[in-house]
């Protein structure tokens, strides 16, 4: 006889198994019937599921239903010429950047923010290594991102400055920290939760079945909630293929976009474009507009390739 179903959270997906947290117990589960997807990756970390727990220890439970997703962070992967999901239901994505060492890459930050927007993920920008920045540089950086409505938190993982404000944003939800290598993500995470066992994270990756699984995220217990481990990508392809989707992923374009002569407008070649004019006057940050044009170029290039 089967027991009652329980609600759980998917923390890891390997070859054919889905590991679900059921009130603190980590239970392997199998997907039932139609929900099984070729390689078993139809569900991703962060999915909320309904499970029939295993009758005996050592057996697998069964996933009966997958809850609707509030958001899905995904990216475009060049090698497979398609979008790949990373993690579902992230409550806040923290995009970490530095001004120097490594030098700021606006384009990378903007690409991550736009990809989060596309997946319906709320995000904030973290400017780390505050101890290496001058106050006026921090102000200039902050104004670029507050223009798009993003909270900006300036921190130093070394001195601890600003990390309390960051900690206050964390609750029992699912969080992810992304950004270029060397910006101090690991240092910040250790500040926020010294118990976060980064050794275990590495071990988990090695014991994972099937190489393809490493591109998917896993969740780790973190500061009362969960931390999504995101693939360490130097490049992060915008997971959309439509110029008008991309426009919506730059929130500060909405207001000047209402003044464009043509509707819809891709804010690139069209005469009388309100966004282009705003970027020229500085009302829209120039770096944000440049990032937009760069991603737009990539989307168009993909489309040309597909048409060939």
- Interface contacts to Zn ion, rule CB under 5 A: 260, 265, 267, 273, 275
How far apart, in whole angstroms, are the C-alpha atoms of residue 105 and residue 97?
8
Q: Does 142 bind ligand GDP (CB under 6 A)?
A: no
Q: For strands 225-229 and 218-222, give the pairing.
A: antiparallel
Non-local CB neighbours of 16 within 8 Å, separated by 6+ positions: 30, 39, 40
* For ligand GDP, the closer CB: 50 or 187: 187
Q: Does 59 bind ligand GDP (CB under 6 A)?
A: no
Contact between residue 19 and residue 190 where contact means Cβ atoms under 8 Å apart? no
58 Ramachandran zone, left/alpha/beta (phi>0; psi -120 to 50): left
Q: How far is CA 17 from the centre of its chain?
A: 23
Q: State which of positions 119-138 bind ligand GDP (CB under 6 A).
A: 128-129, 131-132
The length of the chain, given as a count of residues: 308
Q: Smallest gap, in angstroms, from Cβ of residue 154 to ligand GDP?
A: 10
* For ligand GDP, the closer CB: 47 or 229: 229
Residue 184's binding partner out of Zn ion, ligand GDP, none, with CB under 5 to 8 Å set by partner kind? ligand GDP
DSSP at 215: G
Question: Which residues lie across from 225 on neighbouring strands?
Answer: 222
Number of residues that bind ligand GDP (CB under 6 A): 14
Residue 267's binding partner out of ligand GDP, Zn ion, none, with CB under 5 to 8 Å set by partner kind? Zn ion
Residue 265's binding partner out of Zn ion, ligand GDP, none, with CB under 5 to 8 Å set by partner kind? Zn ion
Q: State which of positions 160-189 bind ligand GDP (CB under 6 A).
A: 181-187
Q: How far is CA 236 from the centre of its chain?
A: 10
Residues at the contact surface with ligand GDP, assessed by CB under 6 A: 128-129, 131-132, 156-158, 181-187
């Amino acid at each position: 006889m089967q027991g009652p179903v329980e609600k759980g959270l998917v923390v890891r997906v390997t070859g054919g198994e889905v590991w679900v947290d059921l009130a603190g117990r980590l239970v392997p589960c199998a997907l039932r019937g139609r929900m099984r997807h070729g390689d078993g990756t139809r569900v991703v970390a962060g999915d909320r599921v309904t499970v029939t727990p295993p009758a005996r220890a050592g057996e697998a439970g069964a996933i009966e239903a997958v809850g609707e997703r509030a958001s899905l962070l995904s990216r475009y992967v060049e090698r497979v010429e398609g979008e790949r999901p990373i993690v579902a239901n992230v409550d806040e994505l923290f995009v970490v950047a530095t001004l120097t060492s490594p030098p700021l890459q606006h384009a990378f930050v903007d690409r991550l923010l736009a990809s989060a927007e596309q997946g319906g993920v709320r995000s904030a920008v973290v400017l780390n290594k505050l101890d290496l920045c001058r106050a006026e540089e921090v102000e200039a950086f902050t104004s670029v991102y507050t223009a798009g409505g993003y909270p900006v938190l300036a921190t130093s993982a070394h001195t601890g400055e600003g990390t309390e404000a960051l900690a206050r944003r964390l609750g029992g939800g699912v969080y992810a920290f992304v950004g270029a290598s060397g910006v101090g993500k690991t240092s910040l995470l250790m500040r926020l939760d010294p118990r976060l066992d980064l050794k275990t994270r590495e071990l988990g990756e090695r014991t994972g079945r099937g190489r393809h699984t490493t591109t998917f995220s896993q969740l780790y217990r973190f500061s009362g909630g969960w931390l999504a481990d995101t693939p360490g990508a130097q490049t992060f392809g915008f997971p959309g293929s439509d110029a008008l989707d991309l426009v919506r992923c730059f929130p500060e374009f909405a207001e000047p976009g209402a003044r464009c002569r043509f509707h819809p407008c891709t804010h690139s070649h069209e005469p009388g474009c309100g966004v282009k004019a705003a970027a020229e006057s500085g009302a829209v940050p120039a770096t944000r507009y440049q990032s937009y044009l760069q991603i737009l170029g990539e989307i168009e290039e993909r489309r040309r390739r597909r048409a060939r």
